[in-house]
Amino acid sequence: MSCAPPCPSLKWNIFCRVIDNYGDLGVCWRLAVNLARRGQAVRLWVDDASALGWMAPTGAPGVEVLPWHAPLDMDGVVPGDVLMEAFGCEIDPEFIASYASRIRAKGLKCLWINLEYLSAETYAARCHGLPSSVMSGPGRGLTKHFFYPGFTPDTGGLLREPDLLARQAAFDRRAWLARLGIDWQGERLVSLFCYEPVGLPALLQQCTQAAQPTRLLVTAGRASAAVQLWVDEQNTLQPPWNKNKKLLISYLPTFTQTDFDHLLWACNLNLVRGEDSLVRALWAGKPLVWHIYPQDDNAHHAKLDAFLTWLKAPASMRLAHARWNGLEPAAPMPALLQDDTLDAWQACVTQARTKLLAQDDLTTRLLAYVQRLDSD
């Protein structure tokens, strides 16, 4: 599976269109950095790079970020070796024309990759690596190749940096919390990165009634707004809602991707969302609840189910996911802030993480895949 080191250094063009939220750019940036750290030269074309201002303010060596606007300014741009469209975004015909004429003129292999969304559904393994002939436009006659991230060895795998475990082992939770101005007294730490989950009020209520105090570390943006709304409501409707001070809330600033990992490593329970943060929560190896990105046709129900099946989630974890994501009435939420529940979830996530760590990461598989296409 591995690309025998050193992998040949190729020039990559990754195209990323930001649909909403941060996941499209978060994944593309992480992939770009992973490739660059393995000697690849990466150009990341993105239509809205603003989130990189906080996710990765200092950039990364070997990654060039370029604005992706129509019409594309091709002046002086050589299209490179690998063309990647992330999540089905459509690359401009002028770029494809330039790529096609370059590879035809030089007799090079077509290394055009379509990076797909992450899913544990069986189609990911079935479709991973499939070619698709381009039937029209300037790329007519070329072949696109579908690359599916996934949780099993027969998919494209998950993004993971080579130094992840070493960084994790050296992490000092108390010092990191102190840097944020949090005087941690041993209370249970729960991170919250979500949209507006229907199960949120039930969980917050549970925190106020639990035996042990909980500090909720709430990420900036939608999660903060959702918690704030609930707190305002409680203040109006039942002012003594937190009289025993069992729920402590810390509203967080936007973090770099590196510090976002630190948040997940610091907590006893991680409530994450989308795609990239789910993967980071798996690497953090703590009990987790996933707020899946909702799709209009409810396609996310099957996707959530496939993930929980792969995870071998215990019944309480399945129920919590169903209620958190609104697949079932939100209340009552299973009592997840209890040691025995969290212990069972911990055992489950630890097992899953071990299984994943035994597999190659996505970048290793992608480099090997591209090398195979190039040498076929």
Among candidate residues 298, 354, 352, 297, the one with its CA nearest the CA of residue 325: 298
Q: Does 19 bind ligand TRH (CB under 6 A)?
A: yes
* Candidate residues 12, 13, 17, 24; the one interacting with ligand TRH per rule CB under 6 A: 24
Length of the chain: 376
Among 64-72, 269-277, 335-343, 352-360, which window interacts with ligand TRH (CB under 6 A)?
Answer: 269-277
In angstroms, give the least distance from the CB of 193 to ligand TRH: 5
Q: Show contacts with ligand TRH in window 152-191 (CB under 6 A).
A: none
Q: Does 22 bind ligand TRH (CB under 6 A)?
A: yes
Q: Does 26 bind ligand TRH (CB under 6 A)?
A: yes
Q: Does 293 bind ligand TRH (CB under 6 A)?
A: yes
Task: Give all strands of the β-sheet with 41-46 in edge-to-edge order.
Answer: 63-67, 41-46, 11-16, 82-86, 111-115, 143-147, 131-133
In angstroms, give the least distance from the CB of 278 to ligand TRH: 6
In angstroms, give the least distance from the CB of 183 to ligand TRH: 21
231: its two tokens = 């707190």
Q: Does 275 bind ligand TRH (CB under 6 A)?
A: yes
The verdict on whether 90 is a catalytic residue reads: no
Residue 215: partners with Cβ closer than 8 Å, 6 or more residues away: 182, 184, 187, 188, 189, 190, 248, 249, 250
* Candidate residues 199, 274, 285, 334; the one interacting with ligand TRH per rule CB under 6 A: 274
CB atoms within 10 A of CB 304: 21
Residue 237: partners with Cβ closer than 8 Å, 6 or more residues away: none
Q: Which is nearer to ligand TRH, 1 or 299 (CB)?
A: 299
Whether 83 and 112 have beta carbons less than 8 Å apart is answered as: yes
Instruction: From the candidates 261, 275, 360, 361, give the one annotated as an active-site residue.
Output: 275
* Candidate residues 114, 257, 270, 325; the one interacting with ligand TRH per rule CB under 6 A: 257
The verdict on whether 24 is a catalytic residue reads: yes
Rounded to an integer, what distance in angstroms lies between the CA atom of residue 309 and that of residue 114? 26
CB atoms within 10 A of CB 75: 5
Among 6-14, 23-31, 243-251, 337-345, which window interacts with ligand TRH (CB under 6 A)?
Answer: 23-31
Site for ligand TRH (CB under 6 A): how many residues? 23
Q: Does 360 bind ligand TRH (CB under 6 A)?
A: no
328: its two tokens = 């079932």
| 50: alpha, beta or left? (left if phi > 0; alpha if psi -120 to 50) | alpha
Residues assigned a catalytic role: 24, 275
* Chain positions contacting ligand TRH, by CB under 6 A: 19-24, 26, 55, 117, 193, 219-220, 254-257, 260, 273-277, 293
